[in-house]
Amino acid sequence: MDAALIKSLRPGKPSDPKPSDLKPSDKKPTEPRLPETRPAELDPSEFLAAAVRADQPRPSRHEAEAAVHTLLAYIGENPHREGLQDTPRRVVEAYDELYQGYHQCPAEVLDRTFGETAGYDDFVLVRDIEFTSQCEHHMMPFYGRAHIAYTPVERVVGLSKLARLTDIFARRLQTQEHLTAQIAAAIDEVLKPRGVAVMIEAEHTCMSVRGVAKHGAMTFTSRFTGMFRDNPAEQARFLSMVRGPNR
């Protein structure tokens, strides 16, 4: 092969002008460096208190049951046949259970902490917290597992409280992204830890049962604050423990 051709393919070949040889008009303008971005912070009033106020006007139970009766008629059913006569009542009772998170206060769940940590300075991880929530777009279930870690400062919260916190937010109309952000923000705001890591994996029936009908497709979301956000090694350690070989 021609030596001249080999030279022309190497970096810094003579035919390339050096930066010092360029005229000011020939130099490309330096693009400004974009500022480092951070995730948008949630308003504490959005996630620290119960979502339903005592003075908030709401339809009566009778009106709610009448709405279910209307939906049954809409899909072509006979709401008066024997099997459906009690369905409006059952649906409203199910809603009271499925959406009880609107009446619960996340801040109260995290309020009691313990100081008996014996100088523990690593993160605490609770993984495989099973949950079921309802998609706010189609009001269809999505379900899966939440994995939550935080690095405490002197005081820790009872482990069951992280599961209760997950259930409070899950038992509201949700998107998985918002659910992930709310859990992380509540822990960050109330416990003031050195960092929080939350990862959620879930299957959405609005994708597996309707629409594209892809059964088994899983959606993963994560949120990191503090040391987990700023230290890639801590992120990696959290993820390795969540995805450990015994999963």
Which residues are identified as catalytic? 135-138, 176, 204, 206
Please state, in angstroms and as integers, the Cα–Cα distance from residue 208 to each residue in 60, 217, 222, following that order. 34, 7, 22
| CB-based contacts of 208-212 (< 8 A; 24+ apart in sequence) | 209/140, 210/138, 210/140
Specify the residue for token string 């009566």.
Answer: 60
Token pair belonging to 232: 């890639």
Cα gap 170→247, rounded to integer Å: 23
Pairing state between β 173-174 and 124-135: parallel
Query: Are 166 and 146 in contact, with CB atoms under 8 Å apart?
Result: yes
Gyration radius from the chain CA atoms: 27
Q: Which amino acid is at 8?
A: S
